[in-house]
Amino acid sequence: MTGNAGMEALIPIVNKVQDAFTQVGMNGMIDLPQIAVVGGQSAGKSSVLENCVGKDFLPRGSGIVTRRPLILQLNFIERGEWGEFLHAKGKKFTDFDEIRKEIEAETDRMTGHNKGISDVPINLRIFSPHVLNLTLIDLPGITKVPVGDQPPDIEFQIRGMIMQFISKPSCLILAVTPANSDLANSDALKLAKEVDPDGIRTIGVLTKLDLMDQGTDARDILENKILPLRRGYIGIVNRSQRDIDGKKDIRAAQEAERKYFMTHPSYRHLADRAGTKFLQKTLNQQLTNHIREVIPGLRKKLEEQLSSMESEVREFRNFKSSDASSKPRAMMQMVNRVTHDFEEAIQGGGNNVDTKKLSGGAKINQIFHGRFPGYLNEGRLDESELRKEIGFAIKNIHGVRSGLFTPDAAFEMTVKRQIETLSDPSMKCIQQVQTELNVVLQSCIDRIKNYPKLQYEIDSLVSTFLRECEQNCKDQINQLVAAELAYINTNHDDFIGFTSQAKSESVKDSQTSGQESQLIKKGWLSTTNVGLTKGLSKEYWFVLYTDALAWFKDESERDQKYYLNIDGLKMKQDEEEEEKSGFFHRKHKIYIFHPNTRYLFREYRELTLIAKDEEELEDWRASFLRAGIYTHRSHDQNFNSDDEDDGTIKTPVFEKIFDDPQLERQVEIIRTYVNSYMNIVRKTFRDIVPKHIMCLMVLKVKEFIEAELMPSLYSVGDPSDLMEESEDEVRRRDELIGMYEACKGAIKAISEVSSKTTSTPLPAPVVNNSINSNSSPSPNMNSHRKPPEPNVPQRPGSMRTNDVPSRTVVNRPAPRPAPAPPSSGRRPPSRPARPN
């Protein structure tokens, strides 16, 4: 090996980091220094790589042969020669024909046999005493026309893959171009120029110099006069197709290549700066120098990556899957994590706060105070329905007699029917809280999915206990409903009774003061004008009060569009329309209307409100119920069946019954008492049901997880079995630790690199345009040369700058110096000019 040993030792370390990232599918996480080989299909890329290795090992054929990126890592060793694939760990390929077959098989495994391509790389490491430490990426050859079953956009796919690699600032570009084609049409140089317009990262390689037309040469290109690059061009003579078919030894071909440059009249002065050996040294030196240039940024990225893996790696190292004694401790840590996460989700706080939606304790609070009060009002009758029900009760109690007094039984029967309607809303509240607790539990145990058996057992134990708590809570609420039905307490302090006129007046005063408008809910809803154009909707900011519904242009509430009094309004959901629209096209709509079919506002008979999802629809529906906008129910059964359907307005039976003024007074008295008593009962339920749910469900489950989950786990299985890791987790742990160690090793190697490491300085900038052989070099490129003596006639510009010996002083621009050899920091000695 040549060059600084400390720097060259860094290349294998960078290779290890690259392998580690590739194994976990994160090879693009850190832009590691590398060299990408770019060229057309017939540019000779494969021959260049094989020359660097000294072996035939790459697939050959017509069309696209390289269909996946090949990351080729060359490693210098003293003895032996073999190859290793990252996807076939532990297997050494000493036969390089087998390496070729493995590349073909691995390519077909990912892309099939239809000449398709894939950006998933193949990692191949070559160990040999005939190579220098080097990392090259062989990319698919640039093509124009699809072949076989290739997609029509194959050119753009290959271009995108190449750009994915060469666009990274840490990547050097090895642009391979055949010398027997026009350099201005080089696909490789064209792509390189797009991402590296100054030519700082591009190294030019000219192949097939021996196949140029007789009388032509590539001297001006190799001297960096045409399409100049900061890193220059290197000439290569590959084996011919006859040599390849005849299995000509690569080392013999390299010797023939050396003789070619030594004897060719146009290239012999460049013989020590051309050929495969010089290319190897140049790439080795350029890569090590490039690594040194990107060391500060690379070190920072590696340290950031190391810091992000620190805590997880420490946890992995503390847990040894083979150590049975550590598994109970590890299981306790997992249970403690679940306990901590569950408590944080219910009580609030912590680091994992959801900023997108309500969850955990906040969602339960919304169910208690946002939805449940509305659910309680859902079964509430409006005033006309309540009067009708009381009237039927009074008439049926009196029977054939005409009653003189208001019957108490009518009051009790009506109240009990109203109390019975409170059971379903309470059960609904319990069910929603149970669902949210299950969601919280699943999110907590999802963090221990690395141990599937433990995750299953925790889920099973806690879910079973939660169902028991749910049933117990439902039983308690049913007992509460039964207790309310068992005794109607008309001596309650808040009940309007017969005994205290002062109490009645005080209640009236409290009702009057309670009629002040109060805010219930605000939010965005879409509304559609069904009277004009169906399906078109516009979003407004809606504000719901206890007595009105207003909507504004935006949430600043300055530009009010309408203010709607909600007294007597009803709501409905068009279930038939939802069924017709189907599940995927269903819109979450609420219709607000007046039951007597009069205009609701302006010329519209109803207001259609659209929520963004089912959950928001449920929240608004509960809020409307709280405001007294109840669900509409059909009253067709209350019409007199004797009326003919002749287009006339039917007369409700309800109106025919209440033609007795005395009965009407009795109904009004009982209605007042029923409303007063039911307000007391609903207030009790709004308070006691959430308390029961918290006590019998939420806190019980929390206590079970804290105190009983661990003993229950011991009773169902052995910790060694429960803490058995999944195969994915074992593989992930090994890969993570390997990546962590590789990053540490890279950082250590970077730290040990001497700041005095010698490297070849980058050549001075060149004019990046096409320069023919008759053009004079840019003056600023020769500022280090001695200026021409005055009053000395210049030679014609058509004469080459090196047609005279270097000692002869002529008044002409000095020739462009050739790039210095990478093996040292000194300028090479001047060479005699080529004779005419």
According to the model, what pLDDT value does residue 554 have? 87
Q: What confidence category does residue 145 fall into, taking pLDDT thresholds of 50, 70 and 90?
A: confident
User: What's the CA gap between 563 and 551, in Å, rounded?
Assistant: 7
Checking if the pLDDT of 550 tops 50, the result is: yes
Q: Average pLDDT for residues 38-43, to the nearest whole number?
A: 82
Checking if the pLDDT of 696 tops 80, the result is: yes
Checking if the pLDDT of 782 tops 70, the result is: no
According to the model, what pLDDT value does residue 483 have? 93
Distance of CA 658 to the CA centre of its chain: 67
Checking if the pLDDT of 204 tops 70, the result is: yes
Checking if the pLDDT of 656 tops 60, the result is: no
Phi then psi for 221, rounded to 5 degrees?
Answer: -70, -45
| pLDDT top residue among 185 and 574 | 185
Each residue's pLDDT tens digit, 313-336: 776 665 555 566 677 888 888 888
Please state, rounded to an integer, the average pLDDT across all residues of the chain. 75
Checking if the pLDDT of 222 tops 80, the result is: yes
Checking if the pLDDT of 104 tops 70, the result is: yes
According to the model, what pLDDT value does residue 429 have? 93
According to the model, what pLDDT value does residue 62 have? 62
Phi then psi for 525, rounded to 5 degrees?
Answer: -140, 150
Q: Find the angle CA(88)-CA(92)-CA(98) to the nearest 5 degrees.
A: 85
Q: What confidence category does residue 764 fall into, taking pLDDT thresholds of 50, 70 and 90?
A: low
Q: What confidence category does residue 117 fall into, taking pLDDT thresholds of 50, 70 and 90?
A: confident
Q: What confidence category does residue 376 fall into, taking pLDDT thresholds of 50, 70 and 90?
A: confident
User: What's the CA gap between 631 and 625, in Å, rounded?
Assistant: 8
On whether the pTM is more than 0.85, the answer is no
Q: Average pLDDT for residues 615-633, to the nearest whole number?
A: 79
Cβ neighbourhood burial of 436 (10 Å; 0-12, 13-18, 19+): buried
Q: What confidence category does residue 786 fall into, taking pLDDT thresholds of 50, 70 and 90?
A: very low
**Pairing mode, strands 606-611 and 588-593:** antiparallel
Checking if the pLDDT of 507 tops 50, the result is: no
Phi then psi for 790, rounded to 5 degrees?
Answer: -75, 160
User: What's the CA gap between 538 and 527, in Å, rounded?
Assistant: 6
Checking if the pLDDT of 500 tops 80, the result is: no
User: What's the CA gap between 682 and 484, in Å, rounded?
Assistant: 11
- Diameter over CA atoms, the chain: 144
Checking if the pLDDT of 783 tops 60, the result is: no
Q: E strand or H helix at 301, and its extent?
A: helix 276-318
